């Protein structure tokens, strides 16, 4: 009357096994794959293009520097580039400071 009946617990759910673990980590793996194709791969491609552009710099090329200076390349060494920014005015910059190569004839005033 005052004591309630004791019942055995029901059996727990079966171990999900490999498929359970796979579905748990699938969103994480999918996010990594999406991040790779949207962020990492384009950045690596851009770095490769920039490196090949720096290696191909030659005298007479018209360039833009990181600081926004436009000029014509007058001398190229392993690490430095001399850029003529005005008639008779040359600036020495590091090669990695060159960000873009302009089409020939863009700078007519030099």
- DSSP characters for 12-53? PPPP-HHHHHHHHHHHHHHHHHHHIIIIIHHHHHHHHHHHHH
Name the strand (E) or helix (H) holding 55: helix 41-55
pTM recorded for the entire structure: 0.64
Q: What is the mean pLDDT of residues 11-20?
A: 63
Confidence at residue 18, expressed as pLDDT on a 0 to 100 scale: 64
Please tell me what DSSP assigns to residue 104.
Answer: T
Say if residue 14's pLDDT is above 70: no
Say if residue 1's pLDDT is above 90: no
């Amino acid at each position: 009357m005052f004591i309630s009946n004791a019942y055995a617990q029901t059996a727990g759910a079966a171990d999900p096994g490999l498929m359970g673990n796979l579905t748990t980590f699938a969103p994480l793996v999918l996010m990594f794959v999406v991040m790779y194709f949207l962020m990492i791969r384009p950045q690596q491609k851009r770095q490769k293009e920039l490196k090949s552009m720096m290696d191909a710099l030659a005298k007479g090329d018209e360039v833009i520097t990181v600081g926004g200076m436009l000029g014509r390349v007058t001398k190229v060494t392993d690490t430095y580039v001399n850029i003529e920014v005005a008639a008779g005015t040359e600036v020495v910059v590091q090669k990695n400071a060159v960000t873009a190569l302009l089409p020939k004839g863009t700078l007519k005033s030099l």
